Amino acid sequence: MSITYLEAIRLAQQEALASDPRVFLYGQDIGAFGGAFKATKGLHEAFPGRVIDAPISEDAMVGMAIGAAIEGMRPIIEMQFADFSSVGFNQIVNNAGTQFYRTDVPCPITVRLPSGGTPGSGPFHSQSLDSIYAHYPGLVILTPATVEDAYTMLLEAVQIDDPTLFCEHKYLYYHLKADALPDEALPVGRARIARPGIHATVVAYSAMVHESLRAAEELAAEGWQIEVVDLRSVKPMDTDTILGSVARTGRLLAVGETFPWGGATAEVISRVASEGFHLLDAPPQRLNSKDTPIPYHPNLWKVHRPTAQTIASSLRQLLRY
């Protein structure tokens, strides 16, 4: 059996619906149609009344989820693309994100954000919004990079009593495959060493983990052993694992697909600079997408975001220092 990242997401939702009567799914075209990416295929039939088509109203979709959560439900909202969650942004950051702090009543909603670039998707179907949401208090931001994490972390997202943004990467939907789904997983908030090494640390998450692994492979041929840390969740961020890795390697490159101003990679650098300055043998580096909207044509798109090649060349510079 071979399970894709997308299939893992579908199976996790099936499992959540089957095991927890509080769970329901709400999003555009997710009912009989099975979703724009088919992440809910068959669930409408299997769970009548619990997989609900929404009007094109991202604000009201999230608002509805918040109200349902107050009344004891565990909604999973599917944004058709992460980009469109900007229309529901207010509900996510100001309503869901503030509710527990203001009222002591948790707000257990899960918002699925099909994120990141694929060739030809253009400026409005390619964005990664993990960093902008991570900026706000009261939210948990999950960024799974593997089929296994896509499955277990989505199930965990539903269990978390706080608003959780599940940033699933569209590029990984069909590219990534696993033989079986896991029974066990690291807890949310713990990073994973995706590849051990001694010469430099790459901290990455989501699709960038795979670009980083390819870069590490390339550098291995040149004799460098690169450690790749998969953050798994951008918030909370596992600073201990990052610092532990930097303690071993003395060199840090943080890689993310979001726009370059601020964000998760800047957060990694800032934490290591302030808490692990003495561990560093070279100035810590970061690599993000270019500071333009995400271009449509593959010729432009492929160099807009970090790739194995640009990560490898950043690493070479870092190792030369």
Partner 1 sequence: MCYGRFRNVATDGLRPPAPPPPTNHSILTTRTHARILEGQTVIVPGTDLTGAFRDQYTRTYRHMLLARVLEDRLAAVYRAGGKIVGGVYVGRGQEAFSAALGVQLRKGHDVYGPLIRDQAGRIAFGEPILDAIRTYLGSIKGPMRGRDGNIHRGRPREGMPPMISHLGSFTAVINGMLMARRLQGREAERAVGGTGIGDGGLSTGAFHEALNQAAVERLPLVVAVANNQYAYSTPTSRQFACHDLIDRARGYGVRGQVVDGTDLAACLKAFTDAVQRARAGEGPQVVIGKLLRLSGHGEHDDASYVDPALRKGQAGRDCLEVAQTFLLDQDWATAAELSAWQREAESEVDAAFAIVYREALPDPYQESWQALSRADLVEGSSHAGPEL
**Residue numbers of the site for partner 1 (CB under 8 A)?**
24, 49-50, 54-55, 57-73, 75, 87, 90-91, 94-95, 97-103, 105-106, 137-138, 140, 160-162, 187-189, 235-237, 239, 271, 274-275
Nearest approach, Cβ of residue 114 and partner 1 (Å): 21
Nearest approach, Cβ of residue 72 and partner 1 (Å): 7
Nearest approach, Cβ of residue 150 and partner 1 (Å): 19
Report the C-alpha gap between 319 and 321 in whole angstroms.
5
**Spatial CB neighbours of 75, under 8 Å, sequence gap ≥ 6:** 23, 24, 25, 26, 64, 65, 68, 69, 109, 110
Q: Which residues pair with 77 in a beta bridge?
A: 26, 111
Nearest approach, Cβ of residue 283 and partner 1 (Å): 21
**175 in active site:** no
Nearest approach, Cβ of residue 51 and partner 1 (Å): 11
Identify which of residues 6 and 141 has a Cβ nearer to partner 1 in the complex.
Answer: 141
Query: Is the bond preceding residue 236 a cis peptide, omega within 30 degrees?
Result: yes
Nearest approach, Cβ of residue 175 and partner 1 (Å): 29
Identify which of residues 50 and 214 has a Cβ nearer to partner 1 in the complex.
Answer: 50
If you search the block for the tokens 């201990």, which residue do you land on?
240
Identify which of residues 19 and 94 has a Cβ nearer to partner 1 in the complex.
Answer: 94
Q: Are 172 and 207 in contact (CB under 8 A)?
A: yes
Report the C-alpha gap between 268 and 275 in whole angstroms.
11
Q: What value does the CA radius of gyration of the chain take, rounded to a whole number of Å?
A: 19
Identify which of residues 63 and 293 has a Cβ nearer to partner 1 in the complex.
Answer: 63
Report the C-alpha gap between 185 and 241 in whole angstroms.
16
Identify which of residues 102 and 297 has a Cβ nearer to partner 1 in the complex.
Answer: 102
Catalytic residue among 125, 169, 199, 210, which? Answer: 125
Provide the CB-side half-sphere exposure for 209 (13 A, CA).
23
Q: Are 79 and 85 in contact (CB under 8 A)?
A: yes
Identify which of residues 2 and 274 has a Cβ nearer to partner 1 in the complex.
Answer: 274
What amino acid positions are annotated as catalytic residues? 125
